[in-house]
Amino acid sequence: MPHVRKQRNIPKDLLVLRHLNCRMKLLDQDKKHYFSGEKGLEGELKFDQLTENLHSECIIINGLLLKVDNNFFQIDTLIIFQKAIYLIDVKNYEGDYQFDAKHLQHIKSEKIIKDPFIQLQRCETLLHQLLQQLGFHYQVESYLVYINPEFTLYQAPQNPSVIFPTQIKSFFKKLNTVPSKLTNGHENLADLLISMDLGDYPFPQLPVYKYEQLDKRIICPCCWGVMFAENDMKLKCDKCGFEENVDKAVLRCVKEFKILFPDWKITTNIIFEWCSIVRSKRTIRRILQKYYQPCGQGKHCYYI
Ligand SMILES: [Zn+2]
């Protein structure tokens, strides 16, 4: 049975964009960046569901950002078997593309993407280098998986390391037959790699935003529609009908606020304004007092 050692985190820049997209009008380039981030994450999560159902003995690490000799490299999925480490990059491209030397070109829009296989090779080299420095000698096998069933790549060269949607089933059959018996050494390697994970890139490219320009509202976690207050205790989504207890909704909003404004203090007044549809300031105070630690007195009280 596989052991999922690390669950996938949502990148912080994607979270910021997701929250901003519901609360302001993003520029076209930011919107593109945001949608491609969501699309990529969707593909990775789909792939995670497949790896969770593997039968062979292996360790799965989902999402790592590592650094070796000042070079950053990102790993979508790492699967540790007894004798080999599988390095997997997942792409969720959709539509018809044409392969051309070092690029893929979307046929309709003519948009060009750098061949992700080149990126994967770079990643493999850097992983090798890192393993060597750490004193591990495993074989690394890397694969590029196109996961979207509506993806077609015309004139793709034959490459056993590239897995197309129609080949995913047989790829997993193959993974299920990898003979594997894990030891403490494999566990140690997994722990070590996870401890080296940097989480997010140090300088994310994000749009400039100000508190004043953002819509103050509670966003539905299911469809990103707008929630309204059914009564003092319950909120409901305008669009999909999702219902949520007021405590849960406010706590979600506080989290969101902290992602967008990590340096700001959480006060009753600011969260009351941020959640706008919660009618009573006392409700906000009660929730903050219940789930957070108050600091300071009276007007200057804030929560951590
Ligand atoms: Zn909804």
CA of 225 to the centre of ligand 1 (A): 5
CA of 241 to the centre of ligand 1 (A): 6
- For residue 203, what pLDDT band results from cuts at 50, 70 and 90? confident
Residue 299 has pLDDT above 80, yes or no: no
CA of 31 to the centre of ligand 1 (A): 21
Give the pLDDT mean for 159-186. 96
Global pTM reads: 0.89
CA of 242 to the centre of ligand 1 (A): 5
- For residue 2, what pLDDT band results from cuts at 50, 70 and 90? confident
CA of 236 to the centre of ligand 1 (A): 8
Residue 261 has pLDDT above 80, yes or no: yes
Mean residue pLDDT across the chain: 94
CA of 227 to the centre of ligand 1 (A): 7
pLDDT digit string, tens, across residues 76-124 = 999 999 999 999 999 999 999 999 988 999 999 999 999 999 999 999 9
SS (H, E, C) 1-49: CEEEEECCCCCHHHHHHHHHHHHCCCCHHHHHHHHHHHHHHHHHHHHHH
Residue 265 has what DSSP assignment?
-
How many Å from the N-terminal Cα to the C-terminal Cα in the chain? 40
C-alpha span between 42 and 274 (Å, rounded): 28
How much of the chain exceeds pLDDT 70, in percent?
Answer: 100
| pLDDT in the model for residue 47 | 98
